[in-house]
Amino acid sequence: HNLNRQVLDAKQFVEEQLAALQRSLNESEEALRAFKEQEGQVFVTEEARQALDQYQKLEVEVERIQRVKLEVAIQLESLKNNSALPGEGHTRVYSDEVEALISSLNKRMVDLMQERGNLLINYTPKHALVRELDRKIHNVKDEIIRELEAKLGTFSDRQRALQDSISRYRERYLSLPEAAVQLARLERDVSVNANLYASLKAKHQEFMIRGAEQIEEVTIIAPGVVPSRPTNAPNFPLNAFLGLLMGIMVGLVTAFLQESFDTSIGTIEEVEAYLKVPVLGVIPRVDRKEIEQAIQTGFKETLDRETLDLYFHLLSLFDRKSQAAEGYRSLRTNLQFAGGSQGLKAISFVSAAALEGKTTTVVNLAITLAQDGKRILLIDADLRKPRVHSRLGLPQSPGLSEVLIGTNQYPEVIRTVTDLMLGKLGVDQVVNTPGIDNLHIITSGTLASNPSEFLNSPQLKELIETWKLEYDMIIFDCPPVLPVADAVTLGARVDGVVMVYQVGRVGRRALRRTKSLLTHARANLVGVVLSNVSPEVAPEYYGYASKYQ
């Protein structure tokens, strides 16, 4: 009976509205009758009526123009303050008129912003291509501002013209007798209410007709009787067999799909078998809160968040009893034997993608080697997004880029234990660390626009040979292999390359592609370091380590 119910509800609603409108019509008619009785015969010409209607239309148009002007002014202020772009987020305030005006410019702006975002995947904001796009974006924004300012002027002219027209009609409006104005308003109210009442009355008649039709929606086909035996009784053995068969099939399909989509490598043995190189080190995952508490216990004063974050990434200095610090010492030992009798003097550390723990591993390894009495030169060869200087609390420039372009000699840019003490690490922490004076650092320096050419320069090749004579080991922190070619270029110039891999972060294809690029460049991939390793990946490592804590 839903259909009949809907008709009845609609009819009731119309009747309620009809009653209210009837009262409004009666009131307006009564007001008109009372006015005529009081004022007598009032004559209003057709010209006067048209003047009144036109006056009200002009007032509505002026109000609309004023609103549009306000919207344009707000958008102009946002654009000039660089706090909004056209069509983005909650700052979008365009009316239909303004949106039509700048739709093509807005599309151009969105395309440029999207292109800029794609470039920033591989380049820094200071790169020439990114700067060229910034210039184009600025030009488009200026053009939008000019268009909006011109439109604002047009709206102002239109508003002044309307105000002049209103002034003329106001003079005619005020010149009319007050009784004539009042009569025109009362007659308009009666006309509007009468039209609405007639329309609603017609709708009411329609529902009256539909309600009289009363649709029969339920028909009895046959009386209900109790069956003498079950109809379509379930076959329990067959259903159980089919359920078991379906469960096995769904399980097999799920396992197959999970194995197909899970392209990461999950154990140490899988890494060695897949890449055909040994795992040189395992850096276990640590509990950040627990480590920070352990670091804080070594200081009387409360460390701020920035200092705690700095110390947390230098566990070889500030928590030498942790499993992670032990992992760096194990990596140090394995790396010293990886090169055979000749050894590895110059080593570059790479990763397939960003954020795999490469820089943290490199810095802690360099500190561990220095603590073992080796003269170590740590070089930040990531000339796009360097991080070694921030890990050690040092300034970024001058550094490697200044040496390669010839503005500085390499001894002038080498950072020593003195720079570490004067930096963010602090004097006490550096002084109390034996062997740290064996560590020398060259930061990246000013970001280069052509890093690959810098790393492929003859000057760097000569410098590497010079450094081999002065240091026991030179360690390069390189950018990821897949996004840019810098690490591959440098990999062909050093004695060995070590890949840092965070288990599960990238898939098998990314690892295979990384190794393929290094192999084609004739780089010597000597091994892999697994970072941020969970107990599931290396249970034997966690088991042995826990017995000696």
* pLDDT at residue 502 tops 70: yes
Render pLDDT for 178-218 as a digit per residue (tens, 0 to 9): 666 677 667 766 776 777 678 778 767 776 776 665 555 45
What does the pLDDT average to over 277-303? 86
At residue 255 the predicted structure's pLDDT band, cuts being 50, 70 and 90, is low
Sheet with 376-380, strands from edge to edge, namely 279-284, 525-533, 496-502, 346-350, 473-477, 376-380, 439-442
pLDDT surpasses 50 at 546: no
Distances in Å between the alpha carbon of 138 and those of 114, 358, 468?
A: 14, 37, 49
Quote the pLDDT of residue 441.
96
Q: How far apart are CA 345 and CA 469, in angstroms?
A: 9
Q: How confident is residue 93, by pLDDT bands cut at 50, 70 and 90?
A: very low
CB atoms within 10 A of CB 80: 12
Instruction: Share the mean pLDDT of the chain.
Output: 79
DSSP string, 170-234: HHHHHHS-HHHHHHHHHHHHHHHHHHHHHHHHHHHHHHHHHHHT--------S-----SS-SS--
Angle, alpha carbons 107-109-111 (nearest 5°): 70
Q: What is the pLDDT of residue 173?
A: 59
Among 54, 411, 436, 456, smallest CA distance to 427 is for 436
pLDDT at 94: 43
pLDDT score, position 99: 55
pLDDT above 70 for 258: no
Q: Is 473 exposed, middle or buried (0-12, 13-18, 19+ CB in 10 A)?
A: buried
DSSP, collapsed to helix, strand or coil, labels residue 72 as helix
Q: Residue 360 CA to chain centroid, in angstroms?
A: 25
Tokens linked to 328: 């760096």
CB of 459 within 8 A of CB of 404? yes
Q: Rounded CA gap, 54 and 60, in Å?
A: 10
Residue 44 one-letter amino acid: V
Cα separation, 542 vs 470, in Å, equals 38
CATH tag, 270-547: 3.40.50.300
Structure tokens at 525: 């991939």
Whether residue 262 is predicted with pLDDT greater than 60 in this model: the reply is no
> What three-state secondary structure class fits 68?
helix
Q: How crowded is residue 142: how many other Cβ atoms within 10 Å of its Cβ?
A: 12
Longest dimension (CA), the chain: 124
How much is the pLDDT for 399? 93
Say what the pLDDT of residue 6 is.
Answer: 47
Is pLDDT above 80 for 445? yes
225-229 long-range contacts (CB < 8 A, ≥24 apart) are none
Q: Domain extents for the chain?
A: 2-209, 270-547
Give the tokens for residue 370.
Answer: 């220095």
Residue 231: the pLDDT is: 62
- pLDDT classification of 503: cutoffs 50, 70, 90: confident
Alpha helices of 229-304 — where are they, by DSSP H? 236-261, 268-275, 288-296
Residue 106 clears pLDDT 80, i.e. is over it: no
pLDDT digits (tens, 9 = 90+) for 121-134: 888 888 888 888 88
Nearest to 384 by CA among 465, 446, 295: 446
pLDDT class of 443 with cuts at 50, 70, 90: very high
| Residues 412 and 440 sit within 8 Å (Cβ to Cβ) | no
Please state at what angle helix 323-338 crosses helix 539-547, rounded to 10 degrees. Answer: 110
Confidence of residue 100 (pLDDT cuts 50, 70, 90): low
Which region, left, alpha or beta, applies to residue 343 given φ > 0 means left and ψ of -120 to 50 means alpha? left
pTM (2 decimals)? 0.53
d(CA 368, CA 370): 5
pLDDT of 510 above 60: yes
- Of 486, 398, 492, 536, the residue nearest 124 (C-alpha): 486
Dihedral sign for Cα atoms in the order 116, 119, 125, 129: negative
Which of residues 547 and 285 earns the better pLDDT score?
Answer: 285
DSSP code for 90: G
Q: Please say if the pLDDT value at position 7 is more than 80.
A: no
Q: Which residue has the higher pLDDT, 538 or 330?
A: 330
Q: Over 70: is that where the pLDDT of 496 sits?
A: yes
Least confident of 133-137, 357-361, 384-388: 133-137
Q: What is the pLDDT of residues 59-73, one digit of tens each?
A: 657 767 876 787 778
Q: Is 522 left (phi over 0), alpha (psi -120 to 50) or beta?
A: left
